């Protein structure tokens, strides 16, 4: 299906991971270094698929009594795979599997059979022995999302009980709750960690996004992002300096913008029931200045506070006509992919705005409000915030209707392409997960 009219690229089907689940699939997570993918399913299992052959490898089952809503691989682990699962049964699970050759299972680790003897006999006895290592109890109702911090030190879980829990692994299989954060006024739908700092973002049914950080042994809310007019379903941090913006001939304001972004750190993206996808950026703190951002400040205002000033930078072009469940920021290209109830997959990219309608020396119309010529990067506000014409804009580069036929698509993510057909080492595919139980892989053509 091509939309020859507007878009520069098309989304083409590459594979459907088979055999698929027969019940709703909620979300998928690619392994940090192996070419495999885990999918959280409502039949209380996690299905593990190969991204080279696109086939089902194993099923992780027996640990949860209700749908598994979310799963995440622990980063930075060698010699084993560690998977966290979050379930509607209000518990999170930690699963482990050794990756180095067969027979490397720990002798003293008695695999506990949580299946009451009804093991999944379909799978062959390969090296696919998943051990249910720990159950993390504490939440009072369904867990919606689990996420590991960038280094793998912390695990965050969030729930309909309005709280976010942070867990730290003390030693093997011993997790301690180090924070229970209850500031949200509604279900917490998603948690996501900053790629570099120990900063956690949470998205909520109360229409807000909150950011959390550790301050003298206490985790606390450091910013509240208001703006969305309905439930926020998902948040994701940027990682890469936007590849499409780093071109050769950058003008001074353009370079200054990139420098400012580097100083402020990765931005945050969010998507919502209000049909918008919003980009948020941090205004780096001045040493003497008190943050006075648009975000509602937490009630306890400490001196020398660690509160942060995050503001809405942009809204992506409107394409979805029903709730948007997931927005994901590519770590390689800076593109964003989104999906939702309308069954569409949409890809967006940030570009330099055409400056032909600016005045001669390339400065935005309302020059004089910000420091535009590099040099002293005193950021009292981002460059484009004060000007009428932002330097960048988001455009839709590809759009696909009916990705999972008539079914809703719950999750979408960027995955490094691992199969034989990949064109280069940096190629990414899109993996979508839908109500039809299917997990599909897509390429973007036209670049």
Partner 1 sequence: MDPDKDNANPTILLASDLPSRRLSNPSSTSKPRADGSTGLFDALIPSYTYLNDPFAPRSPSSSEADSDDENVFEEIDEQEVYDLISTISDPEHPLSLGSLAVVNLPDIHIDTAPTTSRNPISTVTVLVTPTITHCSLATVIGLGVRVRLEQALPPRFRVDVRIKEGTHSTGEAVNKQLGDKERVAAALENGTLMGVLRKMLATCV
Which residues of the shown chain bind partner 1 in the complex (CB under 8 A)?
A: 1, 24, 42, 66-67, 69, 88, 141-142, 144, 160, 187, 189, 205, 230-231, 273, 322-323, 341-344, 401-402, 405-408, 435-436
Of residues 80, 250, 98, the one with CA closest to residue 152: 80
Beta-carbon contacts of residue 220 (< 8 Å; ≥ 6 apart): 181, 212, 213, 214, 298, 306
CB of 398 to partner 1, least distance (A): 15
Task: Please say which residue, 260 or 430, places its beta carbon nearer to partner 1.
Answer: 430
Beta-carbon contacts of residue 237 (< 8 Å; ≥ 6 apart): 192, 193, 194, 195, 201, 266, 267, 268, 269, 329
Task: Please say which residue, 90 or 382, places its beta carbon nearer to partner 1.
Answer: 90
Task: Please say which residue, 114 or 352, places its beta carbon nearer to partner 1.
Answer: 114
- Asked whether the bond before 436 is cis by omega within 30 degrees of 0, the reply is no
Task: Please say which residue, 291 or 340, places its beta carbon nearer to partner 1.
Answer: 340
Distance CA 121, CA 438 (A): 22
Backbone angles phi and psi of 415, in degrees to 5: -135, 140
CB of 411 to partner 1, least distance (A): 12
Task: Please say which residue, 159 or 254, places its beta carbon nearer to partner 1.
Answer: 159
SS3 259: helix
SS3 388: coil
Distance CA 123, CA 390 (A): 55
CB of 217 to partner 1, least distance (A): 33
CB of 341 to partner 1, least distance (A): 7
SS3 434: strand
Distance CA 235, CA 186 (A): 16
CB of 365 to partner 1, least distance (A): 38
Asked whether 258 and 241 are in contact (CB, 8 A), the reply is yes
Task: Please say which residue, 93 or 291, places its beta carbon nearer to partner 1.
Answer: 93
CB of 155 to partner 1, least distance (A): 20
CB of 375 to partner 1, least distance (A): 49
Asked whether 241 and 197 are in contact (CB, 8 A), the reply is no
Task: Please say which residue, 147 or 364, places its beta carbon nearer to partner 1.
Answer: 147
């Amino acid at each position: 299906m091509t939309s020859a009219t507007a878009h520069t690229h098309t989304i083409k089907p590459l594979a459907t991971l088979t055999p698929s689940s027969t019940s709703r699939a909620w979300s998928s997570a690619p392994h940090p270094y192996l070419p495999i993918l885990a999918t959280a399913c409502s039949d209380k299992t996690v299905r593990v698929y190969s991204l080279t052959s696109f086939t089902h490898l194993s099923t992780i089952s027996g640990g949860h009594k209700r749908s598994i809503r979310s799963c995440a691989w622990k980063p930075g682990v060698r010699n084993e795979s560690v998977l966290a699962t979050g379930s509607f049964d209000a518990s999170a699970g930690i699963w482990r599997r050794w990756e180095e050759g067969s027979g490397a299972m720990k002798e003293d680790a008695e695999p506990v059979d949580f299946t009451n003897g009804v093991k999944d006999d379909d799978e062959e006895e390969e090296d696919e022995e998943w051990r249910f290592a720990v159950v993390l109890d504490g939440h009072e109702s369904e867990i919606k999302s689990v996420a590991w911090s960038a280094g793998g030190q912390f695990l965050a879980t969030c729930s309909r009980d309005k709280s976010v829990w942070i867990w730290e692994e003390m030693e093997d299989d011993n997790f301690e709750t180090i924070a229970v954060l209850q500031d949200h006024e509604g279900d917490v739908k998603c948690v996501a960690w900053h790629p570099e700092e120990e900063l956690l973002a949470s998205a909520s049914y109360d229409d807000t996004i909150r950011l959390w950080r550790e301050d003298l042994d206490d985790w606390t809310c450091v910013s509240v992002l208001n703006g969305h007019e309905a439930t926020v379903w998902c948040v994701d941090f940027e990682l890469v300096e936007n590849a499409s913006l780093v071109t050769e001939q950058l003008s001074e304001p353009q370079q200054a913008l990139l420098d400012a972004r580097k100083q402020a750190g990765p931005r945050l993206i969010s998507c919502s029931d209000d049909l918008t996808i919003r980009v948020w950026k941090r205004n780096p703190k001045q040493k003497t200045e008190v943050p006075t951002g648009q975000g509602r400040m937490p009630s306890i205002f400490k001196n020398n506070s660690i509160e942060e000033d995050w503001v809405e930078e942009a809204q992506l072009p409107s394409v979805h006509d029903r709730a948007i469940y997931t927005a994901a920021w590519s770590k390689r290209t800076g593109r964003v992919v989104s999906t939702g109830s309308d069954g569409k997959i949409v890809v967006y990219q940030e570009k330099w705005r055409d400056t032909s309608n600016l005045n001669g020396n390339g400065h935005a119309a309302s020059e004089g409000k910000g420091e535009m010529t590099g040099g002293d990067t005193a950021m009292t506000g981002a460059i484009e915030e004060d000007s009428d014409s932002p330097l960048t804009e988001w455009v839709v580069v590809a759009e696909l209707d009916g990705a999972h036929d008539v079914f809703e698509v719950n999750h979408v993510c960027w995955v490094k392409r691992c199969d034989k057909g990949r064109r280069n080492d940096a190629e990414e595919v899109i993996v979508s997960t839908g109500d039809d139980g299917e997990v599909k892989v897509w390429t973007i053509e036209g670049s």
